[in-house]
Amino acid sequence: MLIWLTGLSGSGKTTLSNILVKKFKKKNINLISVDGDVIRELFGNDLNHSLDHRKIQIDRIKKISKFLYSQDQNIIVSALYSNNKILSNNRKIFKKYFEIYLRAPISVLLKRDIKNLYKPALKNKIKNVVGVDIHWNEPKHSDLIIDQSKKIHPNVIANKVFKKLINDKNKFKF
């Protein structure tokens, strides 16, 4: 199975992914995390954050995921950049696919701004920030949308996602 988490920077993708990996491990289900930031680092941070480089990054993530999927692994991807073509193509490539969109308004992201992106981008001090000067393509057909404007603890969200996924055991490779 491939679980694809998408949302703007600071929406909680990595946090949710890390919690889910631990929850599945407790059920003896291996879930490999493919995190966009980690993949970027594995390739020596050779890409900037321009739109063209973001597309290369997503292509890398998809190739790694496709390889792991072909090895009968369960994967959870945390990826920022998306568009409906990418997400639609995911459904064709990965037969057992579950997409989660962590929707978060800019007001929430400004408060969370761990990477210190939004304030400088809104003041035109930095460029190439998705949701500011790079258009955010909101997913149209996610299997689950999590509204991050509600102050729900990440563990509560993870429990909801976990229950939804674990109830459909046919999607997982044991």
Structure confidence by residue, pLDDT tens digits, 81-103: 888 899 999 999 999 999 999 99
Per-residue pLDDT at 174:
47
What angle do the packed helices 51-70 and 84-93 form, to 10 degrees?
Answer: 10
| Averaged pLDDT, 5-14 | 95
Please state, in angstroms and rounded to a whole number, the distance separating the CA atoms of residues 168 and 159: 15
Distant-in-sequence, close-in-space partners of 60: CB < 8 Å, separation ≥ 6: 39, 43
Distant-in-sequence, close-in-space partners of 55: CB < 8 Å, separation ≥ 6: 81
Provide the pLDDT confidence category of residue 169 given band limits of 50, 70 and 90: low
